[in-house]
Amino acid sequence: MIDGDDLAYKMIFSHADEAIDEYWTKLGGQPVWLEKPQWPRCWRHERLMGFIGQFRLPGRQIRMAYLFMDNESEESWSPEGGENALIVQPGRIPPFVQAVGAATGESLVNELFVDLEEIEQSTAPRWGSQMLGTPTWWQDEEYPAGVWTYFFQLRNSENGMYDTLFAESGAGYGFLSPDEQEGRFLWQC
């Protein structure tokens, strides 16, 4: 269980000199699968989603969450619309996600290493990228239906690092189920 509501970590991005093939938090490149590959398909367009990044869950045991989205889809903002997916390993595939055994596919972002800098929640950048803490909403507070724990916030773009992911401005938000076996993702602009 994620705990420590007062802990927050600012994401600091840097270009990777070579492919990152470890279980680290990163954007882009190819996923480093902890278990068998589970690349999701967009239910509407029946094509593989693009890979955005992988996020290591807190704790001593290695656990990963892999973020995918169909960036050409009109409804990719919806947490259960089948046009984005946050796949947790070890974990379970959400019922609205179709996954295939593809290990590699399209990356929506050039590969970036993500360093985490512990910050006080009160000093968290208003529209920045962070893990844990409290989300800063672009619109009204919006959690997926049911009980979910906030995990990360990813800014729409970062100067010199990556370009627009979620409309022209905004942020994406990742969430974990209470047992941390399933993920949800939504974005606002």
**Using one digit for the tens of pLDDT, what is the confidence trace for 75-85?**
788 889 889 99
This prediction's pTM: 0.92
Residue 1 forms part of a structural domain:
no
pLDDT above 80 (res 36):
yes
- 5: tokens are 């509501």
Residue 2 forms part of a structural domain:
no
Phi/psi for 123 (5° steps) reads -105, 5
pLDDT (0 to 100) of residue 98: 95
pLDDT (0 to 100) of residue 124: 63
Parent domain of 125 = 7-188
Residue 41 forms part of a structural domain:
yes
Residue 170 forms part of a structural domain:
yes
Number of domain units in the chain: 1
β-pair partners for 84: 69
Q: Which pLDDT tens digit goes with each residue over 124-179?
A: 666 789 999 989 888 888 889 999 999 999 988 777 788 767 767 788 999 999 99
